Structure formats: structure tokens, C-alpha cells
Amino acid sequence: MSKMKATPHINPQGPIAKTILLPGDPLRAKFIAETYLEDAQQFNSVRNMLGFTGYYQGTQVSVMGSGMGIPSISLYAWELIHVYGCEKLIRIGTCGSLQPEVNVFDVVIAQAACSNSNFINQYNLPGTYAPIGSFRLIEAVRERAKANGVTSHVGNILSSDTFYNADPSFNDRWAKMGIIAVEMETAGLYATAADAGVEALGIFTVSDSLVTGEVTTAEQRQTAFTDMMELALPLAQI
Ligand code: HPA
């Protein structure tokens, strides 16, 4: 294989698959590669944003850290799509629940992602763009969640630029509009994928409830994480 060219953030030392899973934490990407993939080979180490490519049940799949926030995930997604040919980008992460029926450890599937970010202004649209996940991928994940007996919620989420917001009514105002959960990346991923005409999806486990104040321990999160991985990995095969 001829050496692939480097971008400002990725210097590939091996192949990158068409399907890539994007956890926020690069060490999580390493764990996924070691735990779930066969013949995993590291392809990136720039800024310690570790990326790996291996096989899941015979299908090539990559996994790389995305970092936190819309700017970080979006620049990696852009390079993965436009330079390395990725066609299916799956964010896997955690979110905070904004609704009483969305419990810790449940899975959230982001049908759409609102944001308080200005990221989408770059597209110069004459109105408000609604970033949505791939319906094909949503349907596939939802079906598998049902088959696996995993409680999942499909709905509108919030990709916030702020983890600590100065306005104490911030979460409540989004919750009132039916937003089911908050995280910090998916709206940027969805817009970047839409602009390029490729598929994207955000899948999360609920790590904390902003309704009840309930939080989970790292140990507890591991089980929920396994449930989510069993929904995300088969997407490489469709
Ligand atoms: N806010 C933003 N992002 C998050 C949260 C949260 O409460 N929980 C997990 N990711």
C-alpha cells in the first residue's frame, strides 16, 4: 500500500476503514480496538488522538478518538471523510439526560441534534439547518436494541458548546422543547457528514441525569458501554 498523505491532525501509518467509530476519549478508542477488533493496527498518534483499524466479524472497521466539543470532532470528521474516504461515522459517547423517562444506563440515539454553537453558520444557509442522523443507521440500531433487550430512546438531543453554562435555566429551556439529552459533539458531526453526503449517527449511554442529579460510577458505565458497543459495531456490516 502506498503511504497515505498526512493532514494537520492525522498521519496515517496504516489503513482507515469506510466505517469509523468515534469515542471522545482516545484511550477509549484503544480499549475498543483491543477488546472488540481483530488484527487491530494503530494508524494515528498525532496529538495522542489514537486511531486503530481492525476487523469486526470479518468487516474492516476503524475507531479513533474525536476529542471533546464540536470543533474537535468536526475537524477529525472532515479529514476522515474528505481525505481518507470514510463514509459512515458513528459517534459513541455519553450524555446527560434532560427527561425523566430517560434513565441512567439507557441508550440514546440522536435522531437530530440542536446546538448553541455557530458551527453551521459556515454553510451560509438562508435559514436554520436541522442536523439529523442517518435514518438507515437509526433504524438498524433501534432494531438491534430491541432484539438485545436494551432500552433505547430515539429523539432530539442538544450538542452544547458549554458544559458549565452561566444561565441556570439553560437545561430546562431545552428540556421544555422536548430535547432528551445533552452532549457536546453530534451537531457538528451531522452537519459535516451532510455537507459531504455521507452517513453519520450519534449513540450514547446516559452517564448522568440532569433531572434527578443521579450520576454513575466508572464501573457501572462499563456495562452500559458494552450494551452500546453491541449496537454500534454491527453498523460496519450494513
Ligand atoms: N453535559 C454535557 N455533556 C455531557 C454530559 C452533560 O451533562 N454528560 C455527558 N456528556
| List of domains in the chain | 19-237 (3.40.50.1580)
pLDDT for 146:
98
DSSP 3-state assignment of 88? strand
DSSP 3-state assignment of 99? coil
Instruction: Give me the chain's average pLDDT, please.
Output: 97
* Ligand 1, atom 6: closest residue by C-alpha: 96
Q: Any idea what the Cα angle at residue 167 is, between residues 161 and 168, rounded to 5°?
A: 115
8 Å CB contact between 36 and 228:
no
pLDDT for 2:
57
**Pocket residue to mutate for ligand 1, from 207, 212, 228, most atoms within 8 A of Cβ:** 207
**Pocket residue to mutate for ligand 1, from 163, 165, 203, 212, most atoms within 8 A of Cβ:** 163
Asked if 208 is an active-site residue, the reply is yes
Place of cell 497515505: 4
Per-residue pLDDT at 55 exceeds 80: yes
Catalytic residue among 25, 39, 208, 227: 208
pLDDT tens-digit readout, 110-148: 999 999 999 999 999 999 999 999 999 999 999 999 999
pLDDT tens-digit readout, 149-185: 999 999 999 999 999 999 999 999 999 999 999 999 9
Q: How confident is the model at residue 214 (pLDDT cuts 50, 70, 90)?
A: very high
Q: How confident is the model at residue 83 (pLDDT cuts 50, 70, 90)?
A: very high
Q: Is 207 in the pocket of ligand 1 (CB under 6 A)?
A: yes
Compute the distance from residue 210 Cα to the ligand 1 centre, in Å. 9
Q: Any idea what the Cα angle at residue 225 is, between residues 221 and 228, rounded to 5°?
A: 145
pTM for the structure as a whole: 0.97
